[in-house]
């Protein structure tokens, strides 16, 4: 099962010739989740060979143009491509009104939008048998939310040779897959770890954009495999970061360090920096395993069995 | 003085990896006119090295998404880039309401939009000392307008050597520049053509998109230097063209032939054609001087003195 992030746009508010405004695509198993939808998202999808019709879930962190101006174009194209199945849209309350203005000017879409607000009172804004998504309140000029994607625990895989060796029946197998030990007719206890393969690690991706540095977020994204944290500004423009309620590269890295994440991605670079390597270097001084993202980058987390058996 | 068209987007409703939705930029002298603003227009401007702040006039042919979804992003970016001077926006009435929905969700722009509707009762929707723009009603599913850009007649250039030869005074020069002949003290009439350089040809560009084939348009765009006519469909999809109120390549070429234009550009190609050369070839069978446009193409019309002296 794949768990793979594609960067569709890595600029901040002003796009550049090489960086489109913010959009990320997470492929978890066979599901595609589009996170933010800056102008040109549908064009990037085509350029990177991804069929937009495969997307059934779009999450909009907040209603600033550089995170949402691609939505009308993408949805309109999906309609023209013959979409009939509903599309799930997650975002602030105002996103629903914004979509109403689409219908007002461009007519109704030929498919339903199932809207879910960030503020809805539940642990997860999305939950399937394989994945959960949690909305994380951020500190920005308008209501904004980040997201934590985490795989669910998978059922244990039984070692096939042990079924025969211990003569396990169907009922026994179900129990062992749930994690129980097996007791033989003679009363010997065979520990579960001897009967099953080590469980898979639950992969995770957290997306935090746009936000002020907020140390409270560290607890929420603790230990994730991949953390994307916006890094709009260099340390030398710290004041500007505070004024506009954005983060510096060093702040993003500080959060990654506090949270003990495995890898940090930074992006949402202000177009004032001709060479975003500067921002990557600032972050690396605080947290070594940092990468400054570019449009088209793919970050894949392979499935891995936990070795702690 | 330059008269130069840059193709920013050449696709029809669905963009492809290489073709952005419709946007053209005409540079007439030092003025930039943006004609339609499909998604990604601001990105193309950056990719082609054109500073968006130099644009003071945006014309929107009609309110279909592929002609207007880039407007919010472009205007928002102009605001962030510090624009204070007004921007002139031409389009259907509903465009003004559409822009109101921008302010509602994203706040007021820091510069004024001077809105002018296509329907306003005047010969030209724009007129300067150098150029006129006429709005041309098209036949499409919703109200749509094309545009005819035409240079104004320039004052005649006087042959400097003749000023001395005939002893022209200031008052005489003014008259000669207006086109009058000169009468010497002895009563000899010196014809104007002997005193002045041949006048400049008035360059012209017509943009017709989106529209059904409409033979009445031929009279309006008669003899233009450059005609852009949409060619969404191939002849084999003629029915589809009629249903959706678009044109085929051959129809675009027929109009060019009827109007006796100098050069025809076709574009707004449906993404169903993997090889738009097909459309170019269909058009060329009717009107030889046809080019199928690509994003990034530049068509420049050099200034030329009329040779008919």
ipTM confidence score: 0.94
Q: Is A15–B47 a contact, with Cβ atoms under 8 angstroms apart?
A: no
Q: What is the pLDDT of residues A196-224, one digit of tens each?
A: 999 899 999 999 999 999 999 999 999 99
**What is residue B309's predicted lDDT score, i.e. its pLDDT?**
43
Nearest-by-Cβ selection for B40 from A40, A65, A80 = A40
Q: Is A73–B39 a contact, with Cβ atoms under 8 angstroms apart?
A: yes
> Which of these ranges, A58-72, B25-39, B159-173, has the smallest mean pLDDT?
B159-173
User: Which residues does chain B have within 8 Å of residue A105's beta carbon, measured at their own beta carbons?
Assistant: 63, 94, 97-98, 101
Of B276, B274, B268, residue with least CA distance to B245: B268
Q: Is A101–B106 a contact, with Cβ atoms under 8 angstroms apart?
A: no
Asked if the model's pLDDT at residue A293 lies above 60, the reply is: yes
**What is residue B308's predicted lDDT score, i.e. its pLDDT?**
55
Asked if the peptide bond before residue A271 counts as cis, ω within 30 degrees of 0, the response is no
**What is residue A309's predicted lDDT score, i.e. its pLDDT?**
42
Q: Is A14–B47 a contact, with Cβ atoms under 8 angstroms apart?
A: no
User: Which residues does chain B have within 8 Å of residue A104's beta carbon, measured at their own beta carbons?
Assistant: 101
Which single residue is written with the structure tokens 């199928």?
B292
Question: Could you tell me what percent of chain A has a pLDDT over 70?
Answer: 99
Nearest-by-Cβ selection for B101 from A14, A66, A101 = A101
Instruction: For residue B8, give both structure tokens.
Output: 């920013």
Q: What is the pLDDT of residues A3-26, one digit of tens each?
A: 999 999 999 999 999 999 999 999
Of A58, A41, A49, A36, residue with least CA distance to A138: A36
Tell me the mean pLDDT in the region B186-209.
Answer: 95
User: Which residues does chain A have within 8 Å of residue B110's beta carbon, measured at their own beta carbons?
Assistant: none
Distance from CA of A122 to the nearest CA of B (A): 26
* Fold for the domain defined by B3-154+200-296: Metallo-beta-lactamase; Chain A (3.60.15)
Nearest-Cα residue of chain A relative to residue B20: A43
Asked if the model's pLDDT at residue B154 lies above 70, the reply is: yes
Nearest-Cα residue of chain B relative to residue A11: B43
Domain boundaries along the sequence of chain A: 3-154+199-300, 160-195
Class of domain A3-154+199-300: alpha beta
**What is residue A154's predicted lDDT score, i.e. its pLDDT?**
86
Predicted TM-score of the model (pTM): 0.94
B235 is catalytic: no
> Which of these ranges, B67-71, B182-186, B263-267, has the smallest mean pLDDT?
B182-186
Asked if the model's pLDDT at residue B202 lies above 50, the reply is: yes
Of A222, A204, A220, A266, residue with least CA distance to A28: A204
User: Which residues does chain A have within 8 Å of residue B109's beta carbon, measured at their own beta carbons?
Assistant: none
**What is residue B52's predicted lDDT score, i.e. its pLDDT?**
98
């Amino acid at each position: 099962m794949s768990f793979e992030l594609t960067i569709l746009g890595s600029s901040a508010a002003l796009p550049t010739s090489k960086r489109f405004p913010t959009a990320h695509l997470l492929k978890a198993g066979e599901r595609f989740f589009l996170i933010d939808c800056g102008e040109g998202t549908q064009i990037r999808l085509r350029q990177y060979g991804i069929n937009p019709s495969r997307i059934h879930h779009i999450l909009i962190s907040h209603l600033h143009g550089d995170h949402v101006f691609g939505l009308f174009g993408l949805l309109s194209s999906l309609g023209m491509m013959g979409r009939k199945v509903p599309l799930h849209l997650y975002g602030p309350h105002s996103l629903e009104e914004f979509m109403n203005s689409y219908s007002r000017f461009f007519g109704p879409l030929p498919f339903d939008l199932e809207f879910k607000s960030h503020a809805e009172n539940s642990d997860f804004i999305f939950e399937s048998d394989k994945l959960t998504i949690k909305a994380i309140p951020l500190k920005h000029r308008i209501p904004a939310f980040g997201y934590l994607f985490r795989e669910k625990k998978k059922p244990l895989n039984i070692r096939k040779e042990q079924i025969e060796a211990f003569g396990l029946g169907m009922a026994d197998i179900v129990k062992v897959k749930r994690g129980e030990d097996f007791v033989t007719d003679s009363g010997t206890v065979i520990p579960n770890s001897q009967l099953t393969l080590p469980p898979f690690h639950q992969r995770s991706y957290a997306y935090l954009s746009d936000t002020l540095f907020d140390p409270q977020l560290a607890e929420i994204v603790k230990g994730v495999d991949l953390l994307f944290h916006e890094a709009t500004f260099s340390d030398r423009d710290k004041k500007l970061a505070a004024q506009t309620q954005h983060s510096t590269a060093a702040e993003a890295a500080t959060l990654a360090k506090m949270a003990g994440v495995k890898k940090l991605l930074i992006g949402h670079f202000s177009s004032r920096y001709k060479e975003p390597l500067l921002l990557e270097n600032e972050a690396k001084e605080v947290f070594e395993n940092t990468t400054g993202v570019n449009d088209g980058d793919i970050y894949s987390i392979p499935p891995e069995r936990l070795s702690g058996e």
